[in-house]
């Protein structure tokens, strides 16, 4: 019997286009790509990884179908911003988002993180539900580089 294979792995350069495509897909569906999106998606190595961040990829039957980044923050409270989380619509409903979230939280803890921060939009109901089930709570911060952001959340690790 053949079963579906889900593998959560660290980003490597061969996943650069998948990282960008997965995120552009959901952003373009609900919003408009913004300058801050292009900075992260066009240059994940220099914008995220080289600054102490991490990117996790989900492979489903050896194909990249999900991703999430931890962006190292220069902040008194928050260690990482959880950002650029995406799961392909083709595999949604298989628990991949939940497994991805668990992996990212564990990665942040393993790197000494105490607090995670994220920005989102309440129109993304499944994402907000996942964040809340994972323990994130709503907070208010002053500034955001994203016009689409109408909710900010944090998680103490």
Q: Which domains does the chain have, with CATH numbers?
A: 6-112 (3.40.630.30)
18-38: pLDDT as tens digits: 999 999 999 999 999 999 999
Q: Hey, what long-range contacts does 138-147 have (CB within 8 A, 24 or more apart)?
A: 141/117, 144/119, 145/34, 145/35, 145/36, 146/34, 146/36, 146/119, 147/32, 147/34
Residue 3 is predicted with a pLDDT of: 56
Q: What is the pTM of this model?
A: 0.92
User: Using 50, 70 and 90 to split pLDDT, how confident is the model at 39?
Assistant: very high
Distance CA 29, CA 44 (A): 21
The tokens for 16 are: 């650069």
For residue 136, count CB atoms less than 10 angstroms from its CB and return exposed for 0-12, middle for 13-18, buried for 19 or more: buried
């Amino acid at each position: 019997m053949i079963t579906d294979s889900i593998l959560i792995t660290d980003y490597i350069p061969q996943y650069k286009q998948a990282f960008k495509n997965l995120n552009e897909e959901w952003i373009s569906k609900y919003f408009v790509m913004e300058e801050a999106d292009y900075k992260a998606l066009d240059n994940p190595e220099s914008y995220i990884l080289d600054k102490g961040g991490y990117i996790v990829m989900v492979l489903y039957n050896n194909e990249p179908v999900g991703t999430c980044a931890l962006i190292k923050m220069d902040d008194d409270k928050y260690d990482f911003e959880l950002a650029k989380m995406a799961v392909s619509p083709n595999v949604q409903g298989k628990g991949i988002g939940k497994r991805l979230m668990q992996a990212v939280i564990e990665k942040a803890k393993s790197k000494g993180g105490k607090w995670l921060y994220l920005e989102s939009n309440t129109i993304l109901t499944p994402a907000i539900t996942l964040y809340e089930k994972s323990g994130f709570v709503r907070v208010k911060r002053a500034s955001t580089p994203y016009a689409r952001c109408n909710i900010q959340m944090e998680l103490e690790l």
